[in-house]
A and B are shown apart, each in its own frame.
Chain A
Amino acid sequence: MSIVTVQLGQCGNQIGREVFNAICSDVHGTHGLCSKKENESYRDACKERFFCEEETEVPVARAVLVDMEPKVISQTLSMAARSGYWKYDDRSRFCQKQGSGNNWANGYSVHGPRHKEVIMNLVQKEAEKCDRLGGFFTIMSMAGGTGSGLGAFVTQCLRDAFPTSFILNHVIWPYGTGEVIVQNYNSVLTLSHLYQSSDAILVHENDVIHKICSQLMNIKQISFRDVNQVIAHQLGSVFQPTYTAEGGLHYSRNPLGIDWQVQPPSRLLPPLQPFPNRPLHFNTSIANLVILRGKDTHGVDLGSFQDPSLYTSWLNPRDAFNAWKTPRAFNKYEKSASLVSNSQFLLKPLDNVVGKAWNMFASKAYIHQYTKFGIEEEDFLDSFTALEQVISSYTIL
């Protein structure tokens, strides 16, 4: 099954390139500490998933690059081609000159409708190149204007054009202090709109990744490239082929088959007792996915991940927990483990962002910049309402 990646805005394109780089170098690295047959199986699954094989040339990434200004895409295309191992399809890009000015309304209400046809044509072309389309993976930041606004619009279009496909939005949570002053407005508008069309929103927070770079990796002068490479590494460790519990002998066909469809408790069930002695700020989960790669994955005891106290009282841990494994090591790490989690961990950052945005909204600061492009105060209120509901739902887990 193949995934079509849509890279949106400066952040989306910069990260996208690092992701394809990480995946490619994992595949081309010396054997993955496993049998040759295993390695080949892995490589083939990976290639089908992310690349289109051309006869004489290097593999071409299944991606559409979108930006409202030209510099980043040019850089992205040339850096990819220079690697010698893979490249982008030069024609699979759309760009303009004037940028979105960090204005969500500009991205969503102006650029979106104006360029919908061209962008969706590019996506359609990539989708048609896939034998079996697994779904879409969009990469964007919430803070700016293109990734966030145009990204939300494109996600909606994807949903309309491919109603049964899986859509995974990878969203970058900006640094708490200043990348963009109106980032909280842009974030609130983005998330509330994505919620309507997306199947799953995968989040990376710049502040957290920054800490990884400084404290775990000891990088002295951290650049955005460093941050993006950590993110790409994490994404690679999730998306590279694995065997699921049911899969057995073949690499799982559905790379994005994380089933997050969780039903809230129905009224008919008797209310379960809340767990005694659970600390107040315990991170309650709805679902967890562990991915193990490399040596000795079969012997590992994952029992503690199925501890009922980790999960909300109306869920059976057996339904909420999944484990995927492969003996093939990732990026030369003899053993590695990844955890993808749907839990309360984002509650505090989300509450923070909504709080700051609300504070600014109360003083009406910057609102004229959005109404200029057709996003009115009521649209803001709708978005705030939607996110307060999300916060509520997660809080009462």
Chain B
Amino acid sequence: GQCGNQVGCRFWDLALREHAAVNKKGIYDEALSSFFRNVDTRSGGDGPDIYKGKICSLKARALLIDMEEGVVNEILQGPLRDLFDSKQLITDVSGSGNNWAVGHKLYGYQYRENIVEKLRKTAEHCDCLQCFFIIHSMGGGTGSGLGTFVLNVLEDEFPEVYRFVTSVYPSGEDDVITSPYNSVLAMKELNEHADCVLPIENESLFDIVNKIHQMISSGKLGSTVKQNSLVTSSAGSARTVQEKPFDAMNNIVANLLLNLTSSARFEGSLNMDLNEISMNLVPFPRLHYLVSSLTPLYTLADVNVPSRRLDQMFSDAFSRDHQLIQADPKHSLYLACALLVRGNVQVSDLRRNIERLKPSLHFVSWNQEGWKTGLCSVPPVGHSHSLLALANNTCVKPTFTELKDRFMKLYKKKAHLHHYLHIDGMEQSCFSEAISSLSDLIEEYNELDATKGGPRTDPSRLEIAI
């Protein structure tokens, strides 16, 4: 969809920038091969993959899907055009009309074979396929409907490969009236078929962008900020044209994905792979929604100004300003928390900060030390260190309850339902099942919340006769 491809475009741009900063010799290495293929284009067209040696032509390991052509065409005409070839695209012309049913049932059925074939092709190029990333928005028709259809296909065709989904959730004032329908219908699919979901809200991205603008323009920073260190910036990347309005926000999401995969790509003293994230942060299969926060948002260029203390970075990760959804994990219940640190940070810094922050956070009784940590030696571009915090926390509940309320408002009046029901394969039960799935999820979070602050009774241990 539109959102997915726009975020994706920023992601590939920043990924190239990150690898270029680390890989000075232009050798195609293991780190690069996680996201890119190295193709021999000298013989013209699509040559064979080259697994070692110099970089010839990099191709992104990606599938770009959109039911209208505008966004994908722009990518193909822009500075990233060489990253993709025609076999990685699935497009149509008329769009999904912000209708989940059109995306999921109509286009899903129509394009299933095409999707499976192209997925197989990209998977074949991989030595060892560990994970699929889906980037989409929940409120529209393509990303939401066709996106979740693809999620189903991934589970059917590649059951052992992890499915991580980055979903942009609509805000209350979203201008797409039917976004609650689309989102709730998509949620059911995410509940049942995703391994991990990273929900993102535009409001939070917008607030972060504003915060940065304010800091820069108010002169509070005192000295220049390293331009390429801004979590919102495209500086140093391939894109030289004027930045588009959503670029800054999309860069934040792109940085999220880069940080998430940094320890899998680069070395460190305590590696953290994607399957470890799924293992440690998902205690029960359906509770796989993770709240993410990124720090720092920028770094100062002036070496005379002491860099923001390391500990401040950890504190920031737990402040509302840095969360990518409107949520308050500090006042809700943690089921698990992961800290992925990049750069010149050692285990003692990690331990000191965990000890410091622990007392103010509420962890579920059976996971009082529920911390998963990773140390990656390579920092992001422009920074000396950075931190990504992923929390499985009941604070996602309000996001879901609000979504449910908005859905019910429309559903009770049967508003716009006919647009969905006249699509082949759509029935009233799709709606009732979807809302029921969401309600069950909310109830699971409620049950956990009820245990918060209650008396702690540890189960009695096994007794052994000598």
Q: Among residues 265 to 322 in chain B, which have CB atoms less than 8 Å away from a CB atom of chain A?
A: 267, 269-271, 273, 275-276, 278-285
- Given A359-B365, A359-B459, A392-B464, 13 more A-B residue pairs with CB atoms under 8 Å apart are A71-B267, A97-B128, A103-B279, A181-B281, A222-B346, A223-B348, A224-B375, A356-B369, A358-B459, A362-B366, A365-B284, A368-B284, A392-B466
Q: Does B30 contact A (CB under 8 A)?
A: yes
Residues in A with CB closer than 8 Å to B365 are 359, 363
Interface flags for A93-116 (1: CB within 8 Å of B; 0: not) read 000111111110000000000000
The chain B residue with its CB closest to the CB of A381 is B462
Residues in A with CB closer than 8 Å to B372 are 102, 178-181
Known: A99-B275, A102-B276. A177 touches B355 (CB 8 A): yes
Q: What is the total number of residues of chain B having a CB less than 8 Å from a CB of chain A?
A: 45
Q: Does A355 contact B (CB under 8 A)?
A: yes
Q: Does B433 contact A (CB under 8 A)?
A: no
Residues in B with CB closer than 8 Å to A96 are 128
The docked-state distance in angstroms from the alpha carbon of A101 to that of B347 is: 20
Known: A210-B351, A359-B459. A179 touches B270 (CB 8 A): yes
Known: A360-B367, A362-B459. A98 touches B130 (CB 8 A): yes
The chain B residue with its CB closest to the CB of A354 is B461
Q: Does A229 contact B (CB under 8 A)?
A: no
List the one stretch of A129-137, A277-285, A383-391 in contact with chain B.
A383-391
The docked-state distance in angstroms from the alpha carbon of A210 to that of B347 is: 9
Residues in B with CB closer than 8 Å to A72 are 267, 271
B351 near A101 with CB under 8 A, answer no
Q: Which of B128, B348, B366, B461 contacts A365 (CB 8 A)?
A: B366
Q: Does B354 contact A (CB under 8 A)?
A: yes
Q: Which of A101, A181, A210, A384 contacts B348 (CB 8 A)?
A: A210
A75 near B354 with CB under 8 A, answer no
Q: Does A256 contact B (CB under 8 A)?
A: no
B273 near A177 with CB under 8 A, answer no
Residues in B with CB closer than 8 Å to A359 are 365-366, 458-459
Residues of B within 8 A of A (CB): 30, 127-128, 130, 267, 269-271, 273, 275-276, 278-285, 336, 346-349, 351, 354-355, 358, 365-373, 375, 458-459, 461-464, 466
| In the complex, the 7 A-B pairs of residues with the closest C-beta atoms, listed nearest first | A178-B371, A101-B275, A222-B348, A97-B128, A365-B283, A223-B346, A362-B459
What are 23 A-B interface contacts by the 8 Å CB criterion?
A10-B270, A71-B30, A71-B267, A97-B127, A97-B128, A99-B130, A101-B278, A103-B279, A145-B279, A180-B276, A181-B369, A181-B372, A223-B348, A224-B347, A356-B369, A358-B461, A359-B458, A362-B459, A364-B284, A366-B279, A384-B462, A385-B464, A388-B463
A177 near B279 with CB under 8 A, answer no
Residues in A with CB closer than 8 Å to B347 are 210, 222-224, 227
The docked-state distance in angstroms from the alpha carbon of A103 to that of B348 is: 25
B466 near A396 with CB under 8 A, answer yes
Known: A177-B351, A214-B348, A368-B284. A101 touches B271 (CB 8 A): no
Q: Does A175 contact B (CB under 8 A)?
A: yes
Q: Which of B275, B366, B369, B462 contacts A388 (CB 8 A)?
A: B462
Residues in B with CB closer than 8 Å to A70 are 30
The docked-state distance in angstroms from the alpha carbon of A146 to that of B323 is: 33
B373 near A178 with CB under 8 A, answer yes
Q: Which of B271, B354, B366 contacts A363 (CB 8 A)?
A: B366
Residues in A with CB closer than 8 Å to B130 are 97-99
Q: Which of B271, B280, B282, B354 contacts A71 (CB 8 A)?
A: B271
B466 near A366 with CB under 8 A, answer no
The docked-state distance in angstroms from the alpha carbon of A359 to that of B461 is: 9
**Residue among A96, A210, A365 with the most chain B CB within 10 A?**
A365
